[in-house]
A and B are shown apart, each in its own frame.
Chain A
Amino acid sequence: MTNSATADAGRRWHDMGGDPAGQINRDEHDYALWEKRVDALMVIASKKKHFTVDGLRRVLEDMGPEAFETMTYYERWIHSITQNLMEGGVFTPAELGDKMAEVAARGASYGEASLGD
């Protein structure tokens, strides 16, 4: 396939360098414990070669622009980490589903579902 960089066929949503965009919003927020845990799981699982940062990026990209606009940063990360771990055979979708149901049954708040931990 040939293309010119002026035609956009094949351009992916995350590849946004040079696009027109609005004013930069400089509001900042601190990360919640669950978000820090997502970050830690990424660092640990990639250091132990269960997947690569490249794989993390691939799935984030494949999630598409709607996910970028509607999900928070670490929501997208846990989705991608989970996908990569399943691709790597660390656990199966059914194992994850059973565990998520077990977690949700513990209580309505994060603290309860995480056993106060």
Chain B
Amino acid sequence: MPHDHHDHDHLSPSGHPYREDQDGPLSYHQQMEIAVRELLVEKGVTTKAEIAAQITAMDNRSPAIGASIVAKAWTDADFKARLLASGSATCAEMDVPVEAMELIVVENTPDTHNVVVCTLCSCYPRNILGLPPDWYKQREYRSRAVREPRKVLSEFGLDLADDVRVQVHDSTADMRYLVLPMRPEGTKGWSEDQLAAIVGRDSMIGAAVPQA
């Protein structure tokens, strides 16, 4: 035992306090995670540094990346055209690699509102939006979004006019989807940074629209 775990200081062998989420009783699945991780390192499949780097990379992925892509599309018509024609290649221009087969960017217009769901699992454009929210992975959203999308959107506070077509995307295979929301009124002359600040995660899934 590296230290007395009843000790109130609760320091790790390195002398630093454990992170809060390190202090709970060890669960069976945590035990499995540690064991698998150590076996993969021992067998040369990966290294501790590679795992740490992957976690850092994932921590750095957040809806802010998607928001910057949306803001650029709002201010640069050529970029937007390229983005809609080839999502992955165009994100690569901004140093955002998309680790799926292809990113498909779907544009909201006055006539069409896009919303994304994955009914079979929980496919999500994690390189652009970070990890998905819990609701995206749960039964209620996955079941209902393809059957009664307007009702679902209404629960998110988004009531669409009858003359707007709802276009649902069931993202069940190898593509990933990003909704390009409409630029709201009252944002004329705004910088890309100002615009990006109003683009929330849910608006890029299609469950909300940005407000100026």
A residues with a Cβ closer than 8 A to B are 14-29, 31-34, 36-41, 43-45, 48, 50, 57, 60, 68, 71, 73-75, 78-79, 81-82, 85, 90-91, 95-96, 99-100, 102-104, 106-117
A103 touches B58 (CB 8 A): no
A/B interface sample: 26 pairs, CB < 8 A: A16-B143, A17-B117, A17-B147, A18-B147, A20-B143, A21-B144, A24-B152, A26-B135, A28-B134, A28-B135, A40-B51, A41-B40, A43-B54, A44-B40, A45-B45, A73-B137, A100-B32, A103-B34, A104-B31, A109-B23, A109-B25, A111-B18, A112-B5, A113-B31, A113-B34, A115-B13
Q: Which residues of A contact B133 (CB under 8 A)?
A: 26, 28
Q: What size tier do the contact residues of chain B reach?
A: 35 or more
CA A110 to CA B22, docked complex, whole Å: 5
A82 touches B135 (CB 8 A): no
User: Smallest CB-CB separation from A50: which chain B residue?
Assistant: B45
B interface residues (Cβ-Cβ under 8 A, vs A): 1-2, 5, 12-14, 16, 18-19, 21-27, 29-40, 43, 45-46, 48, 50-51, 54-55, 58-59, 99, 117, 119-121, 131, 133-135, 137-144, 146-147, 152, 155-156, 170
Question: B45 contacts A90, CB within 8 Å?
Answer: yes
Known: A17-B119, A28-B134, A78-B33. A108 touches B155 (CB 8 A): no
CB-CB nearest 9 A-B residue pairs: A116-B12, A17-B119, A111-B22, A111-B18, A40-B54, A32-B21, A99-B35, A21-B143, A19-B143
Please give the distance in Å from A53's CB to the nearest CB on chain B. 9
Query: What chain B residues lie within 8 Å of A90 (beta carbons)?
Result: 39-40, 43, 45
Q: Is the CB of B39 within 8 A of A95?
A: yes
Contact indicator A14/B31 (Cβ below 8 Å): no
With A39-B58, A82-B36, A90-B40 in contact, do A25 and B138 touch (Cβ < 8 Å)?
yes
Instruction: Report chain B residues within 8 Å CB of A82.
Output: 32, 36
Using known A-B contacts A16-B143, A111-B18, A115-B2, determine if residue A37 contacts B33 with beta carbons closer than 8 Å. yes
Chain A residues with CB below 8 A from B156, complex form: 24, 26
Contact (Cβ within 8 A) A25 B135: yes
A71, B83: Cα distance in complex, Å: 38
